[in-house]
Amino acid sequence: MIALRTESLSKSYGALAAVDGVSLALEAGARHALIGPNGAGKTTLIDLLTGVQEPDAGEVYLGPERVTELPTHKRVKRGLTRTYQVTSLFPGLTVLESALLAIHERRGAGGEWRRDHRARRDDLDEARALLARLQLEGDAETMTRRLPYGRQRIVEIALALATRPRILLLDEPAAGIPAAESAELLGVVDRLPRDVTLLFIEHDMGLVFRYAERITVLVSGRILMEGSPDEVARDERVRAVYLGAEAA
């Protein structure tokens, strides 16, 4: 079953074609990486998938539903959630408070949230279970601003999961994180249940080849090729334009 797909998706800025006729399909439960050199159009494509930007042409589908004109918040309600290259947490909230706020927002009850944790018992139980799943229970009462950057990225994933996504898009989840912390982060991602389809942008090819089951290579706004990690690593075109010595 296809969870997310595009048909001839395009976006230009003047004479620059940032995304040029991209047709992409993600199977439900996929662990799919999107790679390419800087300026390839990867983040623009994620913006088009999530409704942050409108395409000049082409279509976006969640399952069988066409969502090309739907705004971001309605795509979130339909199960499509993303994270960003830079964390966007509330620095004055604890990890538990942040999770509770995200859960309340999902229910459309953000105005009911209170810092004293006088939440509905089922919301509190859900928040604690979510933190436990991502091994954040020990940080529950810690202000997010006091966490190491890698742990902040895991909190951001927790907040994305609080929306109960069917599809989770991760924009450079390991960016700016020391190697030890990035391995922990991607380990958390790898353990997510298969009812969550993952598409992630990542420049660390070691992480890509370790965690992705399928890879799409984007160059100059177009798909150069798509295949398994082994197929991508062996492809001479990919080696020439992107992997270079990394694939040697």
Q: What angle do CA 241, 245, 248 make, to 5 degrees?
A: 110
**Domains identified in the chain, total number:** 1
The arithmetic mean of pLDDT across residues 81-104, rounded, is 84
Q: Which of 173, 169, 151 is nearest to 161 (CA)?
A: 169
pLDDT single digits (tens) 56-76: 999 999 999 999 999 999 999
pLDDT single digits (tens) 25-60: 999 999 999 999 989 999 999 999 999 999 999 999
The arithmetic mean of pLDDT across residues 141-150, rounded, is 91
Confidence at 114, pLDDT banded by 50, 70, 90: low
Confidence at 245, pLDDT banded by 50, 70, 90: very low
Residue 142 in any domain: the answer is: no
Residue 102 in any domain: the answer is: no
Q: Is it the case that residue 116 has pLDDT exceeding 60?
A: no
Residue 28 in any domain: the answer is: yes
Q: Which domain holds residue 228?
A: 2-77+167-247
Residue 67 in any domain: the answer is: yes
Token couple for 234: 């062996």
Token couple for 228: 């398994």
Residue 160 in any domain: the answer is: no
Give percent of the chain above pLDDT 90: 58
pLDDT single digits (tens) 160-184: 898 899 999 998 887 777 777 777 7
Residue 210 in any domain: the answer is: yes
Residue 6 in any domain: the answer is: yes
What integer pLDDT is reported at residue 9 of this predicted model?
98
**CATH number, position 235:** 3.40.50.300
Return all residues near 155 (Cβ < 8 A) that are at least 6 apart: 87, 89, 95, 98, 136, 139, 144, 147
Confidence at 109, pLDDT banded by 50, 70, 90: low
Residue 184 in any domain: the answer is: yes
